[in-house]
Structure 1
Amino acid sequence: MKTADIQPFFATLKAANPSPQTELEYTSVFELLAAVLLSAQATDVGVNKATRKLFPVANTPQAILALGLESLEGYIKTIGLFRSKAKHLMETCRILVERHDGQVPDTREALEALPGVGRKTANVVLNVAFGQPTMAVDTHIFRVSNRTGLAPGKNPLEVEKQLMRRVPGDYAVDSHHWLILLGRYVCQARKPRCWECLVSSYCDYSPKTPPPQGSLR
């Protein structure tokens, strides 16, 4: 993607969705951390279904610890890898209580020291909860960044570094939301819906996917 096209690319996405939000449901920083931790290799829809039952019962580190591992597993058993995620969440809650007074830390180093919290999870929390201009590169962002030519890279870290260099500062905080939503609903893996894409004119992908036969567009 040409450098001159990046600003109008994001300006177009912002005009269509001025205040993008994560699709994970949460009401506190800890709920966000827990939801993101549970979302690895799972859908936001599936995580929300589980946390709607879990969070009314236990939505603090202390409450999760009081719940116990077996009960926690029962609440999240519909999520993939639920046993390992339950262990990670329990251990994370223990560390939060013992080292951080039950509060979620706002630094990458402290977040990545928590079990089950990798770079992507830390980036989501830093961005969504604390407003830092981080890039949480998931499968959607990785695909969109490479397919459009916005920030090509061979792995998520390469793409993240490219995005940090190329995304204009005015769009840095919200950009990862726009890219996730673009990838989830329009620039899909099997067949991008180019005929519905608001930013296709700035995209390097070629040839563009034509509208289905019988479509109005």
Structure 2
Amino acid sequence: MTIRVLLVDDDALVRSGLRLMLGAAPDLAVVGEATDGREVPSLVAELAPDVVLMDIRMPGLDGLTATERLRQRADPPEVMMLTTFHADEHVLRALRAGAAGYVLKDTPPAEIVDAVRRVASGDPVLSGAVIQRLIAQVAGPGRRLRQARRRLEALPERERAVALLVGQGKSNAEIAAELYLSLPTVKTHVSRLLTKLDLNNRVQIALLVHDARLLER
């Protein structure tokens, strides 16, 4: 299966480099380009990409706002932020908006290609350094912590256990082995979590778990 990719970046040189890099992979195809977040909705509707590579800072509509709007659509594509910005507030806003990955532009080409494949398959892509900074940011006290705990404590015990393991970065296969469940059962639990918690992807489940500080117990 070919993974369809839409590039969103106002820098023509960056788009050209990404097109060459991704086009060299036999299972990836760049189906379109945009220079502004305002162009994204119509291109997504027309081209049906599997993954949108989104820059943050662009004229008109920035990538963070474009991601928030895109992920509110029915059956949206996955979004991977590919940017030079690694400030904590950018990472958090992107992930809370529903982005499945956050990769810096100076990442080696082979790793960017692999990240696109992983995002397309539903796996979140975050570097270890980004994860540690996120934990430090979201683990503080306050209203967000209380709200996160209430949402997770309202879940059945088994679903809450799955959520905690997702928060630890476990794959579905690892969760199945640890809880002695079948892989289809774990996938069903994850789908139910996304529906009940009104979340877009596994990254947001992990953020909710970190918000609740449940991994520190």
Higher relative contact order (CA closer than 8 Å, sequence separation 6+): 1
Answer 1 or 2: which has greater strand percent.
2
Looking at CA atoms only, which structure, 1 or 2, has the larger radius of gyration? 1
